[in-house]
Amino acid sequence: MLRTFPTPYPDELLYSIFARHHIRSGNKSFQQTVEELLGYVPQQLYGLGLPNSLSVLAKNLHPITNLTVEGLVVEHTLFPFYKSFLTPPEAFRLKDLMKKKAGKPIFQVAKIAVIEKDSDKQLLRFCSQCFEEDFQKYGEAYWHRTHQIPGVLVCLEHKKLLNDSLVPLQDGYLDCYAANLENCLVSDVPAICQESTLQQLIAIAKEISWLCSAQFEFKGLQWLRKQYQHHLVAQSFVSFSSSRAFKFHEEKFVDAVLSCYGQDCLSLIKPGLADRLGRYFYRCLFACDVEPVIDRVTHVLLIKFLLNSLKNLLEA
């Protein structure tokens, strides 16, 4: 029975709870703590946001915690984000894999692109104001789950840009990094964001927040591709010749997307995307149902651009 397992804070990432438990446990290594919690040490990428073997954890918790495996998955992991654009059977399989000891790599089931080894490491993010308020209220800071959702670069509570910490997201279960003053250094970078860009980032974060909390059954990527085609034709971004061959007006589309979001906003959301909008969006628009991975953030941008909000499409 895990009697020292911390009570989760509101919107706390499960890894953050693990890190706080590790500090209390007195274990020499974080891997020892993880094995104590999950029954083994996973070696999978995305362990911070999509952990597995959570049924073992829930079973070992003291009943007084009132924590269930369902609550851990839904309220303290990134499952609500990664279930988006999965059909109900696919989302069920992902959740089931998180509850059990994973066999198949979880990133394959979630249809997440594997990060190249030589790419820049993604870092855990924090809101400087949340950080201060958490210290005042709880005596310690913690990693907020919503701050780690891909595409979310602002704290929706305080309407300010998030800061990068010094903690690499890819390190998974290799070491323990509780949020603290040493790894959460406030930089001046967020201050350079223009107000118009900040408002776009807030609007995008709200769409992603809705996506994570909304209750709808996704009809599949083939359905999504057909919806894209319908709205592209309706807005004259696609036209058909007499032979029924379609033409994608790439330059017109790219100009419209840039005008909608602004290059600064797109560069912050997905670095380098603004330089390859046409080719990249073409693949997402017309081949999303044959791609092995799902670029959820880009689909959010596309749907918001074409229909003003995700709700107008996904709840239609």
Q: How many CB atoms lie within 10 A of CB 195?
A: 7
Residues forming a β-bridge with 155: 160
Q: How many CB atoms lie within 10 A of CB 136?
A: 8
Residue with tokens 């952990």: 51
- Please give the structure tokens belonging to residue 310: 């995700």
Query: Phi/psi zone of residue 244: left (φ > 0), alpha (ψ -120 to 50 degrees), beta?
Result: left
Average pLDDT per 10 consecutive residues for the chain, totaling 316 residues: 86 94 89 88 71 91 86 96 97 94 81 60 90 97 97 96 88 78 78 85 97 94 96 94 82 94 90 78 92 94 96 89
Residue with tokens 């210290």: 135
pLDDT of the residue at 70 = 95
283, 216 Cβ separation under 8 angstroms: no
Domain regions of the chain by residue span: 14-191, 215-314
Distance CA 268, CA 274 (A): 10
| Closest C-alpha among 235, 204, 224, 209 to residue 316 | 224
pLDDT of the residue at 236 = 95
Residue 106 dihedral angles phi and psi, to the nearest 5°: -65, -30
Distance CA 122, CA 115 (A): 9
Distance CA 5, CA 25 (A): 9
Q: Kindly give the interhelix angle for 296-307 and 250-261, rounded to the nearest 10 degrees.
A: 90
